[in-house]
Amino acid sequence: MATAPVHPASLRLRLLLSPLKSRIQVPMAQRATAFSTAVTSAKIPVNGVNLHYHRVGEGEHALLLLPGMLGTGKTDFAPQLQNLNKQRFTVVAWDPRGYGYSRPPDRDFPRDFFERDAKDAVDLMKALQFKQISLLGWSDGGITALIAAAKYPSYIRKMVIWGANAYVTEEDSRIYQGIRDVSKWSEKARKPLEALYGYDYFAKTCEKWVDGINQFRHLPDGNICRHLLPLVQCPTLIVHGEKDPLVPRFHADFLLENVKGSRLHLMPDGKHNLHLRFADEFNKLVEDFLQ
C-alpha cells in the first residue's frame, strides 16, 4: 500500500516468490555441530483438523512463524527456517487450516477466522509441548499473532509483527479488490501458487479471502482486532517497510500507539516482503529483540 502498482498482488507475490527456488531447499543435518540443523515436517491433529508444520533447531526459546494470505510456513519463511539461530531457538513454521498442507478442509473465512487461526496456532504449540512461545507474524499472520498475544498473554513471551493491520479502511478495500482476479496476475506470480494449490483452488481461495477481509470494512471503525490491542502484554516489535505497497504506514503507527510498550523499526527500502528481500538484516533484528 505505498506507490501501489496497477496490480499490487503481482508486486507482492513476485517479490515474495521470486527468491523461493533457491531458498526453500531444506538444509541437511550437520554432524559437526552439537545441535540439529535439519528441517523436519509433520502433521498433528489440532481442533479437529490436521495442521502441518516445519520445525528446526533445539533452542530453549520456541518461535512460531505465522504466514500471510495463501502462504505456508515453508514458502513464506524459508530464510528464517534456514538461518535463525538453531542453538538459541526452536523454530516452528505452520500452515494455517486450509492453506498449504493443512488441507483438508478447504480454507474458509467466517467473521472469526483470525480468532480461529489464533486458537489453532496456540493449541498447535501446546500440542507440541512448548510451555511458552514467541510469535513472528507476517501480514495476515501478524493479525493472528496480535489476537493470540491478547487472548493468551501468559503463553506469549515476545512478538514481532510486520505488514499487519488492526482494521480495514476504504483504501485497504480498494487494494484488496485489485488482487481478486488472479488471472490478471503475472505468470511469474501465479505459477508457484498454481503448482501448490491447483489453479481452481488458488483462484477460488483468493476471491474468498478478499470477501473475508472486506467484511471487516462494514464493522464499526473497520475493526479486526483493534479492541484487543490494549490486552497485549508481551514486548512487541513492529517492523514496517516504508515502501510497502500493501500496508500504509498509518497501520504501523496505530499499532505502536495502541500496543503498550511496543516499538517501531522502520526499513526505508523495505516493502511487504522485507523479511525475504532483506533476510539477513531482518533475522539479526529479530534475534537481537528476542534475546
Torsions phi, psi of 273, nearest 5? -100, 40
Helices 140-151 and 113-127: angle between axes, nearest 10 degrees = 70
Across the chain, mean pLDDT equals: 89
pLDDT value of position 23:
36
What domains does the chain contain, in order, with CATH numbers? 8-24+34-290 (3.40.50.1820)
Instruction: Show the beta-strand stretches assigned E in 236-290.
Output: 236-241, 263-267
Residue by residue, DSSP assigns 18-46 as: TTHHHH-SPPPP-TTSSS----EEEEEEE
Return the bridge partners of 237, or none.
160, 263
pLDDT value of position 190:
81
Rounded to whole angstroms, the Cα distance separating 96 from 69 reads: 10
- Residue 168 cell numbers, joined: 480495514
Q: What is the pLDDT of residues 146-200, one digit of tens each?
A: 999 999 999 999 999 999 999 999 999 999 999 999 998 878 678 888 999 999 9
- Residue 164 cell numbers, joined: 499487519
Instruction: Round the CA-based radius of gyration of the chain to a whole number and report it.
Output: 18
Cβ neighbors of 197 (< 8 A, separation 6 or more) are: 70, 205
Average pLDDT in the 70-87 region? 95
Cβ contact 265:238 at 8 Å? yes
The better pLDDT of the pair 214, 11 is held by: 214
Cα separations in angstroms, 284 against 52, 79, 83, 287: 27, 12, 10, 5
Cα separations in angstroms, 21 against 9, 102, 134, 198: 19, 22, 28, 18
Q: Residues with catalytic annotation?
A: 139, 244, 272
Chain Cα centroid distance, residue 128: 20
